[in-house]
Each structure stands twice: as C-alpha cells, then as structure tokens.
Structure 1
C-alpha cells in the first residue's frame, strides 16, 4: 500500500515522502478502511512538516480526516462495503491517519456516510466543513435566524470560512465575509457572500468595549484582536462561534459585551464531538450544503502533492478545500 510517510532525519527534522509499506504496519484496531479521499487542513500542514507538538512518534502517517469503504471489521456496527467518514479523535496526529491507501481505526471514531454524499464530496467538506456546520448549528441553537441582520464570517476564504459562507447563504442569511486577500472577493461572492469586509477594518484593537451593533452572528476562524473587536460589534443577544486562532490565541477583550448586550461566545470543538452530534452535523451538511458551491471550492491533489501543500497551508496560501485522491 502507498502512504505519505513522515520520518525524522538525523538532525531531528521531519521529512515527508510517498512510500510503499506493508499493511501489517498499520496499528491494531477494529475496522480497516480502504481510503479513497482525504483533505489538507492546517493541522495536516503541521504534521507533514514541523510537527507542532501534535505528532507523538515517527515514522508517522498524517491525514486528520478521510472517507472510504470498510474492508474488514470486527465490530458489528460496520461491515465490508459500508461507506464511512472519519474526522477528529486525533487521528493523523497521535494516531496514523488518512494519507494512505488503507487506515485501521477504532469503530467508535467512524460515522456512516450520509445518504446523498459521495466519499469525494465528504472530503470536499472534511474537517473544515464539519467544523463550519457545527458552528452554524451552535449559532442557530442560540437563536440565530435569517432576517435579523448580517452574519459575519472571518477568515472567509479559508476552509472553514468557505463552507460556513456557503451554508449560511444557502440557509437564507446575509453573509459578510472577512478576508485579507482582496483577490478572493469574487470567489466569496460566488459562495453567497453579500459583501466583503477588508481584514484591516477589524484586526486592530480599540479602547472602546462596545461599538455600533452590527452583526447578528459570527463564525470566527481568526481569534485574537479581531475576535475581541467583533465581540464589541455584536447585536444584543448575538453569538460568536469561535472555531480557530489564525490571528492568535490571545483575547484582548473586556466582559462588557457579555454583561451589557448578552453576547454569547461559543467554543466549537470538532475533535472530540460525541457520535450523535457528528451524525446530526453530517445529516445537516447533506441537506443544506449546495453541492455546486462545494465543487467550486475544491482543488484536487494526490499523495505526491502533499509535502508542498503542507508548506503552503502553513503560510496561508491555500484557498477553499483541497481534496486528496489517495488512490491516484
């Protein structure tokens, strides 16, 4: 079987390359999956390259998500021929992941592929899209409905932001997409964004704890000073779903938006989500994500492309979703 293997050289520097390895090298677990597609996420870039403290030991197979067909299973929930998808559970980080023609994982980590999705479409969604749907679900669970004002998406041209923009627009929301790349304006409008907000308008801190009430909701992939600024611009009772920290882990904010406007800051974790929440999110994806918009986000890739893509995504140079055909 072919796999992208990351090994450490004598100087301790990780080096990635495609190799032929024995299936016997796969870890012990209940289900063996013939992997068809995977994706490229920021964590994948770390695991392909510097490690980022995520990889426990080498050699390592990255790939934090994948979709494919069950080949063998000792768990009654899955049988050969079943289509499945996996995201999270530290697969591709602490455990060998999806950048290989086969993966062996725990049955508890898998979700049946929902009706209406192919394995390729599932990985066009991937961890980023799954996280985006969790964020939209959390906003709606906290009262967000169409017609109450603009919903802001920060880091809108990235993987999570692209899918969040498409989902929200398809649900009837007015979406304002934030990007620091003006050349992505047409791309974001094609996904359904009704207006583009320049990153420079939001990435500076302000001494004012509250500004004009502007946003009915927000999916934030940036964190840092931008998240602090957005909190002070939320409408009364509005919520921000925090999904990332591209702009930093610090939050230079005050409690005033929470106390005077009843603003909610909702943390979104996609790694350890329980099974029922995963199934609900994937069903919502199949029902609400427009497939034509999804396809417009996709850049195809192969295992051989991954070392370069890993470097690119760490530099913020990857747009939308990369779908890796593991069999190509």
Structure 2
C-alpha cells in the first residue's frame, strides 16, 4: 500500500481523494519508480476537479509529472537507484501518474534526471518549464534572436509563463509579459519581464491585422488572444502555441501568414520524441541557476492537492506548485 490521490467515477459521482492505494491499481509497465516529487499542472487540475474530460480510465492516479528513484526495471534501461523523471506520455490521463508515492511505467517514457537538478528542482521545472524550453528552442530554430525585437509571453503568472520569461531573459531577449493579474507585476519584473501588460488588451475579438510589434511570442492561452498575437506580430515573426487557457478555438484569419509571413508553431509536450526531451532538459540545466527556483515554486503535501487544484483553475496560483508526495 502507498499514499496517493485517486480519481474515481461511479454511481456516487466523480471524486478525487487522498487514499492508501493498493499496488493492484497501477497499470502494467516494465519499470517501478519510488516517487519523491510531483506537481500540479493545469491539466492535472482539470483531471482532479473533473471540469474537463482529461481522465480516460478509472480509477486513475493523476499527475503528468514525476521524479523519483528506480526500484525495478525489467527492460534493463535503468538500474535500481537511478534517478529519473517523466513528463507526459498520457500519464495521469490513461496511465496512473505521479501524484502518489509509487508509479509503474514504461521505461521508454523516462529520462535520467540531469545532475544539475535536485528532485525538487526538477519538479519545479516540470512540464511547465520543459514546455517553455521547447517553445524557446522553436523560436531559436526559426531564427528569432534577441536583436529582432520584443518577445511576448502570455499567461505570464502561470508555470509556463514564469519559466518562459526567466529563460528568455537569461538568454538576452526583451520580454513583455501579459497577465490577468497586473497587481503581481513585481513578480514578473523580478523574473525578467521588461514590461507587463493586461491580458484584456489581447483577449477580445480583434482585427485580422494590427500594428506590428512582436518579433516572437509564447502563448499558453489560445482563442482570441492567440489570434490577436498573430495579427500584431512583425513581418517574419514567430508565434508558438502551447496552451488553451482561454479556449480551444482560434478565431483568426490567414492575413498574418500570407501578408506578413508569420509562422505559427505548435508545441506538444506530451508525446514529444525522446531526443527533443533530452535536448530541452540539457538546455534547462545550462541556462537555469539556483536562484530561479525559489521565486517560482510553492511546496505542498499530497493532502493539499485537491484544494490547490481548485485554486489553480480559478487563477489564484502563481508560478509552480511542487508536491512532496512523502510529506
């Protein structure tokens, strides 16, 4: 038996509770991991609250991120005692995830924990920081350099936004942060944002083309916000899309793409090939120092997960939430 959050759906309804869980609940896999830390991402909060049909099978342990120590690995890829981490691959949706003290996984989903990071630091980064890094790499590969101009980051107070600002600023980019919580501008400025704008300037229906401003953008919001970003991106600029906090829709026109040569790059973190994952984590280890983590991270225990999930969806959580599953 081990402690964890278990999501159940039956005649009594949909519920997520902290329980003692039997190992028989775990899915098949060739590797068993003793989990040390997990996180709460936006997708985890949707799964825990049931506000979106994230979970595919029941019962389910949520948690799309985890870090821990190998207990057993039948594939031979890892040996007992190795430190590993996981982001995505349907874990927490169709395969039991990281918000528990134990996980059974497929070894090809795991990568070694970079030696630069502690377990806790790796989960402070988690899928949010890893997605932000994938987005920055996409801008770089499309030729967006610091000299090209301002980079917009939306959803700036969230996990992806916080890390995107930090990474871009450390690489020398001029970052403009868009947020629905302008009263927290000091936090965003401390991360490296040169300017903070209210998300309302982007979130309403806009024109097919607007005044050119952004050399690039990292958007975790979608909907009208993404459409307006594309409409105001410079000629040849690049926009990365990695989230849907405002909505799944994209009410835009082709004008920015055929008249200004704007490039829209989709960022998927869930099924990303192993080589891309390793590259992203290598870059994170090179870029991030030890001081960034305390500014971005809040620590909680498993007993606080369900309450914090509601707060995250309500926009009341700043930065990253790291879950010590053994506390």
| TM-score interval for Structure 1 and Structure 2 normalised by the shorter chain | over 0.9
Say yes or no: does 1:4 pair with 2:18: no
| TM-score normalised by structure 1 residue count | 0.96
Inter-partner Cα distance in structure 1 for 2:314 and 2:219: 19
Partner of 1:103 in structure 2?
103
Inter-partner Cα distance in structure 1 for 2:7 and 2:253: 43
Conserved 8 A contact 2:25-2:59: no
Partner of 2:148 in structure 1?
148
**SS across alignment from 1:323:** strand
Partner of 1:326 in structure 2?
325
Q: Give 4+ residue runs of structure 1 displaced > 6 Å after superposition.
A: none
Partner of 1:77 in structure 2?
77
Inter-partner Cα distance in structure 2 for 1:57 and 1:248: 24
Inter-partner Cα distance in structure 2 for 1:49 and 1:279: 32
**SS across alignment from 2:148:** coil
Q: Map residues 57-72 of structure 1 onto 2, 5 A cutoff.
A: 57-72=57-72
Tell me the CA shift for residue 188 of structure 1. 0.4
Q: Provide Cα deviations, 1:90-110, integer angstroms capped at 9, x if missing partner.
A: 101111000111101000110
**Shift in CA distance, 71/144, structure 1 to aligned 2, threshold 3 Å:** same
Partner of 2:242 in structure 1?
243
| TM-score normalised by structure 2 residue count | 0.97
Tell me the CA shift for residue 232 of structure 1. 1.2
Partner of 2:177 in structure 1?
177
Tell me the CA shift for residue 252 of structure 1. 1.6
Partner of 2:297 in structure 1?
298
Inter-partner Cα distance in structure 2 for 1:26 and 1:200: 44
Partner of 2:272 in structure 1?
273
Inter-partner Cα distance in structure 2 for 1:197 and 1:51: 29
Tell me the CA shift for residue 7 of structure 1. 2.2
Q: Map residues 249-264 of structure 1 onto 2, 5 A cutoff.
A: 249-264=248-263
Tell me the CA shift for residue 35 of structure 1. 0.3
Partner of 1:23 in structure 2?
23
Partner of 1:286 in structure 2?
285
- In the alignment, structure 2 segments of 5+ residues that lack a partner are none
- In the alignment, structure 1 segments of 5+ residues that lack a partner are none
**SS across alignment from 1:147:** helix
Inter-partner Cα distance in structure 1 for 2:213 and 2:66: 38
Inter-partner Cα distance in structure 2 for 1:186 and 1:61: 36
Partner of 2:212 in structure 1?
213
Say yes or no: does 1:132 pair with 2:122: no
Inter-partner Cα distance in structure 2 for 1:46 and 1:213: 35
Q: Which has the larger displacement, 281-290 or 1-10?
A: 1-10
